[in-house]
Amino acid sequence: MPAKIIDGSKIAKSILEEIKHKVKNMKQKPGLALVMVGSNPASEVYVNFKEKDSKEAGFYCERYNLKEDISEMDLLKLVTELNQKPEIHGVLVQLPLPKHLDEKLVTNSILPQKDVDGFTPLSLGRLLCEDTIMAPATARAAINLIESTGIKIEGKNAVVVGRSNIVGKPTALMLLEKNATVTVCHSKTKNMAEFTKKADILVVAAGRPNLITKEMVKEGAVVIDVGINRVGGKLVGDVDFEKVKEVAGFITPVPGGVGPMTRAMLMENTLKAMELSKKFSK
């Protein structure tokens, strides 16, 4: 039987509707600052979506389109100002940044309670200690999509392909926290199929089109494709969707899977950041 398609767009839409409903009755609105440096076309698309979502959800949104050659000092100054603004609860600096800017330094300058991306060492460290303030939106999206299938994570063999600090590692940690037995594969993994073939849950975040073929997937597995690749003007994931769906139990499409869900999680994180700001101001 072909896999059930996990409709990330539909699930994300209902989450956004819920947020919108909550925000409607709020006196103070959640505030999100979106900072973009330069004119990377992919980043522009992502930031446009985030701006659209936040406005639709009824958030207060400030967008900063900064020149490609902005100095590190000026960018850090802006982040510091946003950290201090009471009407801004979440600060997001779109990555990647131009080469002359130190991404780590800039990301780390965001106040932890405003770190809606969950990329600062403190946010990631807290995730490691099972004391999460804000988990990275894409990892949260992957977990939510797995849970949307009704399949229990506890006790399952989960394999995560990719070990970036913003997707692979936090997803692996969250699966571990939910009591899966977790294996992380990466570019130096030998015979990756031996691991993926045993996965009840397979999350792929490598940025390599068609990395995961039908032969590498266990029958009935939940397959979450995080990858976004542009091939011949078309967006595709890391999984050979058409073939893998013949063996998987559940699978996310690209587009329409993890992407929209990540954006919904970002809005949830911003709402949470506003709630946190009340605690921090006490």
Does position 50 interact with ligand NAP (CB under 6 A)? The reply is no
User: Catalytic one among 29, 50, 114, 178?
Assistant: 50
- E-strand spans in 20-147? 31-37, 60-66, 90-93
Rule CB under 6 A: say whether 164 interacts with ligand NAP.
yes
Is-cis flag, bond preceding 255, omega within 30? Answer: yes
Q: Is the CB of 93 or the CB of 226 nearer to ligand NAP?
A: 226
Q: E strands within the chain?
A: 4-5, 31-37, 60-66, 90-93, 157-161, 181-185, 201-204, 222-225, 229-231, 234-236, 250-251
- Residue 20 Cβ, how far from ligand NAP at the closest point, in Å? 21
The rounded distance, in Å, linking the Cα atoms of 25 and 164 is 38
Nearer to ligand NAP, 6 or 276 (CB): 6
Q: Closest distance between ligand NAP and the C-beta of residue 98, in Å?
A: 17
Q: Please identify which residue in 34, 47, 61, 167 interacts with ligand NAP, judged by CB under 6 A.
A: 167
Which residue from 90, 118, 253, 259 is in contact with ligand NAP, where contact means CB under 6 A?
259
Q: From residue 269, how far is each of 16, 72, 176, 275 by CA, in Å?
A: 12, 26, 21, 10
What are the angstrom distances between the C-alpha of 134 and each of 195, 245, 265?
30, 32, 10
Q: Nearest CA to 116 among 254, 281, 275, 259?
A: 275
Q: Is 187 in the site for ligand NAP (CB under 6 A)?
A: yes
- Window of 33-41, 85-93, 152-160, 179-187 that interacts with ligand NAP by CB under 6 A: 179-187
The residue annotated as part of the active site, out of 29, 94, 113, 178, is 94
Which of 29, 113, 114, 117 is the catalytic position?
117
**Which residues sit at the interface with ligand NAP, rule CB under 6 A?**
138, 161-164, 166-168, 185-189, 192, 205-208, 211, 226-229, 258-259, 262
Which residues participate in catalysis according to the annotation? 50, 94, 117
